[in-house]
Amino acid sequence: MKHLTLKIILLVTLMIPMETCTTSNLINIESSAMNIIPKPQSVKPLQGTFVIKSDQSLSLEGDFVHPEFIKASLNALLPGAFSSNAGGADVQLRIHPDQSIPSESYRLEINAKHILLTAGDEPGIFYGLQTLRQLLPATVENQTAELHNNAIPAVLVVDSPRFGWRGMHLDVSRHFFPLEFVKQYIDMLALHKMNVFHWHLTDDNGWRLEIKKYPKLTEICAWRVDREHEDWRKWSPIEPGEKATYGGFYTQDEVREVIAYAAERQITVIPEIEMPGHSSELFAAYPELSCQGKVIPVNPGSYWPNEDILCAGNDSVFTFLENVLDEVAELFPAQYIHIGGDEAAKKYWETCPKCQQRIQTEGLENEHELQSWFIQKIEKHILAKGKRLIGWDEILEGGLAQSATVMSWRGEKGGIAAAKAGHDVVMTPYTYVYFDYYQGNPETEPQAIGGDLPVTKVYSYEPIPEELEPEEHKFVLGAQANLWTEFVKTTDHAEYMVLPRMTALSEVVWSDPEGREWSEFRARLTELFPRYEILDWNYRPLDEE
């Protein structure tokens, strides 16, 4: 489509009388329509231009869930737009509840008279607005753009996502991130049409979610001694009587605020509550829930393997977890609850009398089957709450209930096995989408956990593994990148790890893979960077090529 670009600019330039619109205030299609990320299914330049006025009329038709937010978003892009239900408004947004229009898809037509955005649902409208946003100059991002009398070249964008699960994860246990940053993270997802925020709320280094029934979770389990000046893997011992001063948590009101903020941006928030491993922070306040029964202060770093684990033989563990999950299910409207399930060391289960008794009573073969029994017991409770269970691929070991969804992180094998067994799968292999990995030379990059994951490799990712038969493709819901934060202490650093690797991922999960080419994407990506700068989002610059 590149060759069309110049023609359009020439055509448009000739058509506009100089007194109303000089070439300098013609929004250049070369730096707009062709640079949309993720790449739309189809972008067709049309004849003419839409001239932006200071007093545009706006009409919303159809069943909007967040009409005020949609109007405000549009007003930020095209200042002066106001609500009008009269037909023939300058900007018209229409939701047509039509079964034949795929969910989340949209049609954006900009012509000399109107901007017409139609979709089958509100997500489609929101994604159409994100495309319109990228068609306008980067200066719209801080709303200082004086766009009146600017002309947008006419264009028709028809677009639809490839996958329904376009996820980003954030670990707030290893390092705590303030509420305002969580919202900014959601803003980052929204610009790129990502639609799932996986919130990793609990892990060995801190519990981050207020649970009314167990106040000690946030009074004690959310705090650790401060070892920020030391290496994450080599922290010095906790002194007797030393105060736990590093940490934090989100109140249920704050969580509701995040959920509402995300919902306006068409993003589902999925909570993760880790079990049975990655749960040692609990034993700072509730030691009776572990096999060992010992108080373990919340660790200010990690040691490996971390063998402390919830006791599978103790019924009060399930009472505790079910009470926690009840509050989680009540708080989060998402269909899914993530229960972790990864890296559960079985050492203490092997010697714990209660766990061994459970293996006997339930007629289980070994500790792997005990983990499977544990997860299935939790799943029953989650299903009874009208929710679905999702977990890391270890939940496959020892058998898994059919309705459970698997997040394949240890490469693609778990995802392939799960899809072949008829489970829904979200692909999140560390080899392509672990954003805690280095994205360049470790000698010049900020410290990372290891690995080598440049943006080019993320861009090359294909979420449907070759090993799957065509009829199994439907089990792959999509893909997600994870940001573990052992080595990510600040919001600036978190942004740096995510951008532009998430930008690359957004195209992997949204756009048609046909004809995908790094150099073509690179050119569009470069055009997005000024936007990140205006938004004050820290990104890793591209390497010279």
Chosen residue from 120, 313, 454, 463 binding Zn ion by CB under 5 A: 313
Residues 271 and 329: their CA atoms lie apart, in Å, by: 9
Of 87 and 353, which CB lies nearer to Zn ion in the complex structure?
353
Residues 138 and 136: their CA atoms lie apart, in Å, by: 7
Of 206 and 313, which CB lies nearer to Zn ion in the complex structure?
313
Do 291 and 344 form a contact (C-beta atoms < 8 A)? Answer: no
Which phi and psi angles does 409 have, rounded to 5°? -110, -30
Which of positions 346-375 make contact with Zn ion (CB under 5 A)?
Answer: 352, 354-355
Please, what is the minimum distance in Å from the beta carbon of residue 316 to Zn ion?
Answer: 12
Please, what is the minimum distance in Å from the beta carbon of residue 290 to Zn ion?
Answer: 8
Q: Interface with Zn ion by CB under 5 A: which range of 30-38, 84-92, 250-258, 304-312? A: 304-312
Of 355 and 395, which CB lies nearer to Zn ion in the complex structure?
355
Of 328 and 370, which CB lies nearer to Zn ion in the complex structure?
370
Chosen residue from 291, 325, 395, 504 binding Zn ion by CB under 5 A: 291
Of 74 and 370, which CB lies nearer to Zn ion in the complex structure?
370
Nearest to 393 by CA among 381, 377, 378, 405: 405
Of 317 and 396, which CB lies nearer to Zn ion in the complex structure?
317
Q: Is 289 in the site for Zn ion (CB under 5 A)?
A: no
**Catalytically annotated residue among 254, 257, 327, 343:** 343
Q: Is 292 in the site for Zn ion (CB under 5 A)?
A: no
Q: Is 311 in the site for Zn ion (CB under 5 A)?
A: yes
Tell me whether the omega of the peptide bond preceding residue 137 falls within 30 degrees of 0, making it cis. no
**Catalytically annotated residue among 192, 198, 278, 423:** 278
Size of the site for Zn ion (CB under 5 A): 6
Q: Is 309 in the site for Zn ion (CB under 5 A)?
A: no
CA distance to 38, 87, 246, 338, 472, per residue, from 281 (Å): 39, 59, 13, 18, 39
Q: Which positions ≥6 away from 435 have C-beta within 8 Å? A: 453, 481, 482, 483, 497, 498, 501, 502
Please, what is the minimum distance in Å from the beta carbon of residue 314 to Zn ion?
Answer: 6
Please, what is the minimum distance in Å from the beta carbon of residue 171 to Zn ion?
Answer: 27
| 3 state DSSP class of 166 | strand
Which phi and psi angles does 337 have, rounded to 5°? -120, 125
Number of other residues whose CB lies within 10 A of the CB of residue 403: 12
Do 95 and 121 form a contact (C-beta atoms < 8 A)? Answer: yes
Do 225 and 238 form a contact (C-beta atoms < 8 A)? Answer: yes
Please, what is the minimum distance in Å from the beta carbon of residue 358 to Zn ion?
Answer: 8
Do 59 and 93 form a contact (C-beta atoms < 8 A)? Answer: yes
**Catalytically annotated residue among 90, 171, 203, 436:** 203
For the four alpha carbons of 149, 154, 156 and 162, in that order, the dihedral sign comes to negative
Active site residue 203: yes
Residues 183 and 174: their CA atoms lie apart, in Å, by: 19
Of 74 and 355, which CB lies nearer to Zn ion in the complex structure?
355
**DSSP bridge partners of 224:** 246
Query: What is the token pair recorded at 202?
Result: 């609990």
DSSP label of 322: H
Q: Interface with Zn ion by CB under 5 A: which range of 1-9, 289-297, 298-306, 484-492? A: 289-297
Please, what is the minimum distance in Å from the beta carbon of residue 400 to Zn ion?
Answer: 22
Active site residue 343: yes
Q: Is 96 in the site for Zn ion (CB under 5 A)?
A: no
Q: Interface with Zn ion by CB under 5 A: which range of 192-200, 240-248, 311-319, 328-336? A: 311-319
CA distance to 69, 277, 387, 432, per residue, from 136 (Å): 19, 48, 40, 32
Residues 315 and 89: their CA atoms lie apart, in Å, by: 63
Active site residue 368: no
Please, what is the minimum distance in Å from the beta carbon of residue 349 to Zn ion?
Answer: 6
Q: Interface with Zn ion by CB under 5 A: which range of 252-260, 271-279, 285-293, 324-332? A: 285-293
Of 97 and 353, which CB lies nearer to Zn ion in the complex structure?
353
Q: Interface with Zn ion by CB under 5 A: which range of 251-259, 286-294, 423-431, 528-536? A: 286-294
Please, what is the minimum distance in Å from the beta carbon of residue 279 to Zn ion?
Answer: 13
Residues that bind Zn ion in the complex, under the rule CB under 5 A: 291, 311, 313, 352, 354-355
Catalytic (active-site) positions: 203, 278, 343
